[in-house]
Structure 1
Amino acid sequence: MDLILAAVIFIVSYFFIMTDRINRAVIALCGGTLLLLTGVYTTRDMFMNYIDWHTIALLFSMMLLISITEKTGLFTFIAIRFSQKVKGDPIHLLIGCSILTAVGSALLDNVTTVLIFVPIILKITKMLKLPSFPYLLAIIFSSNIGGAATLIGDPPNIMIGQAVEQLTFLSFLVHLAPLAILMFFIMLAMIFLIFNRVLRNQHREIKELMEINAHSHLIKSPMLYKSITVLLMTMLGFLLHTIIHMELTVIALSGAILLLLLTEKELATEQIFEKVEWVTLFFFIGLFTLVGGLQEVGIIDQLARGIVLSTDSDYAKTSLLVLWISGIFSGIVDNIPFVAAMIPVVQEFKSYGMDNLDPIWWSLALGACLGGNGTLVGASANVVVAGLAEGAGEKIPFIRFMIYGVPLVILSLTISSVYIFFRYLLPYT
């Protein structure tokens, strides 16, 4: 009975999450509460075994750091100055916003990055009378590809990094960044070929852009220098955490608390906490409880056994199957809930004699991050961009996005298959 209850609650919850008719966090929390009410698991099991508080604390800490730094106007200043440097050239602007988004998504996280850049690019395209769709499309694709390069760039990577101790910040850079860079240039070439003629034929209005005083957006106060210093220290800590023997969560939390203390007199703490994406955090909490229900009744074990049996425990087949399954399903449902469900599945592979799971972890990370480009609900960054655009009167049509997103995902998974096979799987064949 518990198995049926957990499965039904999971499926119904995910249906409503996919349709986005009701707030995702509310749906996820309702699902978790129903699992408690029906006795699938106890409150102690939910809080002690299934909610990953390390991931929640890491996300919370990064949100605090970015919220304080954003108050200094640093991110707005960078975006405006770059636009002025390219003198409003549509193609240079497209390339520039893609690069800034990809780099920002790798070093910060893709949701935060798009929150910073989308309002700026919408304002610039409006001033220059340029179509916003190509730029929004490039930002979404760049955020997911750039986020795939590092441990903190995309929520799925954060979740995988927290679940697997040996996969460090440097490990993600070494193993995933090369492919992410390759895919970024391929994506950029694709966007250029598709929209080059459209953008070149647009009449440009650069006078208003060039008259913007970028420095007026930059608040040159001690808070600016404190924010930059602490943010750089935190990033350095991420890179060196295996050497200094400190967890990523501790580093991020320390940086956030330090910056809160340093800026307490300049910026009210209440204002910073108001800027935290609480909906996202509670969505994660609800999500962990939903997946916990599947773990509790053994559905996760059955799924893991099914994948292993279908591939005869073959490393190459299993890794590539995980890559394509994660890529396809991450486009259909959000890649965050999919990875949350798949992490215990991959961990279960060890019980079937598969000791070296690293190739499978990289396959899961690549499939989830790159597969998120398939639809507007494929990744959290996509949903954020769509919401910001709609609020500005520039709605992104779901089907139109898929026309560009699905081919990119198929190409990404094909290239990733070749990369995974020759870099990791060839010895096993």
Structure 2
Amino acid sequence: MVGDFPNILIGTEAGIPFYQFTSYMLPICLLELFVLLVYLRFAQPSLFKAAVLLHSLSADGYPNFEPPDEDCPELSDPADRAGGHNTLLNTIRHRLPKAIKSRYILRRGLIILAIVIVGFLLSDILNWSPAVIAIAGGIIALVFGGCEPFSLLQKVSIRDILFFSGLFVLVGAAEASGGLGYVSGTIVHLSFGNTLILCLLLMWAGAFATCFLNAGPTTALFLPIVLSFKSAAPHSLYWWSLSLGVCAGSSGTLVGATAGSVTATMIDRFVKEQNKFTAGSAEDEQIGPSEAVGDSPNSADKDSQKLTKLTFKEYASLGFPIMLIFLLISSIYITVLYRW
């Protein structure tokens, strides 16, 4: 339930216990994850090959990393660096300056995480909302995690926040205008009174809406629609259908999930830095008098290494087929639950 924001909305609105949500959704999610890996293995075999840009490697072949973040403390013991053992563990520890090197901070983080997980499992007994438990755990981790809270908050992407805020405003406008009642009536009319067809229509409609409205706003849009259904569904199938549909639609396009937009922003920053580094390296190279500029042996490699941004079309070409596969698997799962 707490693994995704739409599921938190569904679980909170429907009053579904944490353990019940997990028992229904965990098996199908693991199955879809396995199918996704198999699909990517054959559709994008290059993703499973080690490919590191040449200019991102150091002289001894290990990846270069950025300097440590000033906002996070470096609490490693200097004596650890004095060890002269040429082992893989020491190599990793020295070449990952951003890794957590304080067992004390790591222990505190794991304790907070364990308390939050226990809170999720006992949320129904304690009569606490999982959303409240998650927020409380995040605040505790922010205060006692070892990093400067205000510096971390300054790194939040304002552009992404404004984007998703605008989507929620559009959803609120659609609900206030009475458009949700029309959508609800249309879905019920197309189902011909069949509960299974209604569940499948809800799932597929939620998936395609998520492709363009994002998972959170789509869930907020469909919650009143599901609550308006007069007929009851066995095994709370309406909520599982909505959750699986939103989950599938999140994979369809770049704006389908919050992670897609945030990842695109991070890739944008990374591409700018990498291309700037590549351009600077090309200017520093000296070409021999007998070599022409176009005949440089590394010119083709540099052109091939020039990175590009992640576009909506590029993402959809891979994500949309995955969405359809997820919908087919989820449709079979919902049908099995209905017949069970």
- Specify the code of the residue in structure 2 equivalent to 1:311: S
Q: Secondary structure at the match of 2:335?
A: helix
Residue from 325, 328, 333 that aligns with 1:414: 328
Indicate how the Cα distance of structure 1 residues 171 and 286 shifts in structure 2: closer, same or farther if over 3 A, else same: farther
TM norm structure 2: 0.70
Task: Report which structure shows greater RCO (CA 8 Å, sep ≥6).
Answer: 1
Mapping of 1:168-247 within 5 angstroms? 168-196=17-45, 200=49, 207-209=61-63, 211-212=91-92, 213=94, 216=97, 217-220=99-102, 222-247=104-129
Q: Which has the higher helix share?
A: 1
Matched, 1:371 2:249: yes
Indicate conservation of the 8 Å contact 2:41/2:48, yes or no.
no
Indicate how the Cα distance of structure 1 residues 421 and 402 shifts in structure 2: closer, same or farther if over 3 A, else same: same
Residue from 190, 198, 206 that aligns with 1:318: 198
Mapping of 1:58-77 within 5 angstroms? none
Q: Which residue of 2 aligns with 1:137?
A: none
Q: Which residue of 2 aligns with 1:401?
A: 315
Aligned length: 271
Residue from 7, 10, 13 that aligns with 1:163: 13
Indicate conservation of the 8 Å contact 1:294/1:300, yes or no.
yes
Indicate how the Cα distance of structure 1 residues 281 and 169 shifts in structure 2: closer, same or farther if over 3 A, else same: farther
CA positional deviation for 1:251: 1.7
Indicate conservation of the 8 Å contact 1:287/1:340, yes or no.
no
- Specify the code of the residue in structure 1 equivalent to 2:216: I
CA distance in 1 between partners of 2:314 and 2:135 (Å)? 40
CA positional deviation for 1:178: 0.7
CA distance in 1 between partners of 2:315 and 2:165 (Å)? 29
- Specify the code of the residue in structure 2 equivalent to 1:273: L
Q: Secondary structure at the match of 2:310?
A: coil
Residue from 153, 161, 166 that aligns with 2:3: 153
Q: Greater CA radius of gyration, 1 or 2?
A: 2
Q: Which residue of 1 aligns with 2:179?
A: 299
Indicate conservation of the 8 Å contact 2:2/2:130, yes or no.
no
Q: Which residue of 2 aligns with 1:382?
A: 260
Q: Secondary structure at the match of 1:207?
A: coil
Mapping of 1:243-392 within 5 angstroms? 243-260=125-142, 262=144, 267-276=147-156, 286-349=166-229, 352-354=230-232, 358-392=236-270
Indicate how the Cα distance of structure 1 residues 291 and 406 shifts in structure 2: closer, same or farther if over 3 A, else same: closer
CA positional deviation for 1:317: 0.7
CA distance in 1 between partners of 2:243 and 2:160 (Å)? 20
> Cα RMSD over matched residues?
2.9
CA distance in 2 between partners of 1:203 and 1:247 (Å)? 44
CA distance in 2 between partners of 1:289 and 1:208 (Å)? 47
CA positional deviation for 1:291: 2.6
- Specify the code of the residue in structure 1 equivalent to 2:254: L
- Specify the code of the residue in structure 2 equivalent to 1:373: S
- Specify the code of the residue in structure 1 equivalent to 2:102: K
CA distance in 2 between partners of 1:218 and 1:315 (Å)? 51
CA distance in 2 between partners of 1:277 and 1:162 (Å)? 27
Give structure 2 stretches of 5+ with no counterpart: 64-87, 272-306
- Specify the code of the residue in structure 2 equivalent to 1:159: L
- Specify the code of the residue in structure 2 equivalent to 1:380: T
CA positional deviation for 1:152: 1.9
CA positional deviation for 1:284: 5.4
Indicate how the Cα distance of structure 1 residues 388 and 420 shifts in structure 2: closer, same or farther if over 3 A, else same: same
